[in-house]
Structure 1
Amino acid sequence: MDIPVFAGMNGSAIENFSCVIYNICFMNCTWQAGRDAPADTQYFLYWQKSRDEEERECELYIKDENCRNMGCIFQNVSIGIEKAYFLVNGSSKDSLIQFYDEYIDLYKIGK
């Protein structure tokens, strides 16, 4: 059975996703839990620097007081010309969680 691309409870995807590059090679990405996401929702961030590279999961998550992943610190980020692809999905015992994805121009956020 195929699951539709936007399967998951409405309002469960993350909100206010943003990334900041600092000290040339570090990048912080942060987000907020979806408004209607169950309390046990855990989020996972994946990114792909270019179409040629493999998708990689965040190695160093920033957690909130409930131990939920609410951000990621990336080290040794190189700013390329291509847009980077970011995907945040989630899991919960109670329901399917919608994913969030975005292409971001790292060159622009590095300026």
Structure 2
Amino acid sequence: PVFAGMNGSAIENFSCVIYNVSLMNCTWQAGRDAPEDTQYFLYWQNSRHDGDAVECELYMKDETGRNTGCRFQNVKIDTEIAYFLVNGSSKDSLIQFYDEYIQLYEI
């Protein structure tokens, strides 16, 4: 599929780890062709059609202040599969979004 936004601007190497039952860390790398001012935002929900997307409350940042990860606390997982979406914004161009269904028991 073709997504709106500049090619190479979507995040790469997305992964999440759940630990201590209710804590989840997700990390990613900036798109290799993303403008320097690109900022990324992570949302997740139990399914794409659940309607209750949760945005990250505690972002991890790199040395430039760009969001490169998220710590979720008090995670309640009701399904085996969760939907993750990372979108971005930049003054210079549209940023492609990244989305993925992850089977949580594999995390």
TM-score, normalised on structure 2? 0.91
Structure 2 partner of 1:89: 87
- How do 1:1-111 residues align onto structure 2 when only pairs under 5 Å count? 6-50=3-47, 51-109=49-107
Runs of 4+ in 1 over 6 A off after TM superposition: none
- Per-residue CA deviations over 1:33-72 (Å, capped at 9, x if unaligned) read 0000000000000111244351111111001111100000
Q: Secondary structure at the match of 1:93?
A: coil
Given that residues 46 and 79 in structure 2 are in contact (C-alpha distance below 8 angstroms), is that contact kept between their aligned partners in structure 1?
no
The percent identity for this pair of structures is 80
- Report the Cα distance in structure 2 between the residues aligned to 1:52 and 1:81, rounded to whole angstroms: 11
Compared with structure 1, are the counterparts of its residues 53 and 95 closer, same or farther at alpha carbon in structure 2 (3 Å cutoff)?
A: closer
- Report the Cα distance in structure 2 between the residues aligned to 1:33 and 1:101, rounded to whole angstroms: 14
Could you tell me which runs of 5 or more consecutive residues in structure 1 were left unpaired when the two chains were aligned: none
- More moved, 71-80 vs 37-46: 71-80
- Report the Cα distance in structure 2 between the residues aligned to 1:57 and 1:80, rounded to whole angstroms: 17
Q: Which amino acid aligns with 1:31?
A: W
Larger Rg: 1
TM-score, normalised on structure 1? 0.88
Q: Secondary structure at the match of 1:107?
A: helix
* CA RMSD, Structure 1 to Structure 2 (Å): 1.4
